[in-house]
Amino acid sequence: MEPFNVHILGCGSALPTLHHNSTCQIVEIRGKFFMIDCGEGTQIQIRRSRVNFSKIQAVFISHLHGDHCFGLLGMISTFGMLGRTAPLHVYAPSNFEEYLKHSMQMFCNRLEYEVVFHGLDTKKNIQIYEDKSLTVETIPLDHRIACCGFLFREKQTAPHIRRDMIDYYSIPISQINNIKAGADWKTEDGEVIPNERLTTPPLPARSYAYCSDTRYMENLHTMVEGVNLLYHESTYANDKADNAKLYYHSTAEQAATVARDARVGKLLLGHYSARYSNENQLLKEAREVFPNSFLSDEGQCIAVQ
């Protein structure tokens, strides 16, 4: 199975602590690396994760609060010092473009590579990226400012060829792709060998949904229905539910409610308030609603499966 992993580089909230870094993740899928959010300290966390700087091909910024984007400019500069030549694609709310342009003119005006900006309409659920192995789409969220999450969907692979059957019927290599596409095989004697005997079904396509800062949204589960792994912010426990509503955040119980209603495979909690010395209370409240809930933590590499 090709790798589909989520590297947690930071899962804290706005106030820096010694326990958690600002928000940042790297999604690794079939040899490609994509960054989600880029808070302060991201470069050090990349070093610790042992992900190669040069392999990051795009950065997705959910919204323009500093704990989600203050690390981007420094990382762009470092890429330049490391001799990067491949373009870096930055997907962010549209009003970030002017700030990024002026900041780069001041601090990063001699780069040997191109930074390609893609403005996002955070109010729409639309596909913003596609290649031969995956798609990425936005998930509109409800925060104090324009904000969206991101949904990574692996494309379905072709069926697997049964080598023993190919050899048994002496099927030429030139016909392999046709059989992967669903064709049967006709022998010299006229016998038709059905495709089901020549192949085995592909593994199910996997998906990962990242829901950054947001109030609880009753309809959010419809946009992340059935994903294998859901990351949903869980800034507060139930005793601070009023704070969650006031500051446009969610409780762990609310995150678990989304996971339950969406029938996801697994829930990751994150974006913890600095008021918690540990997150066991958050985990307990989430598991009362959705048992397959887990805490995210720096240094984790979580397989999407």
The catalytic residue positions are 67
- Give the integer Cα–Cα distance in Å for 65 and 144: 10
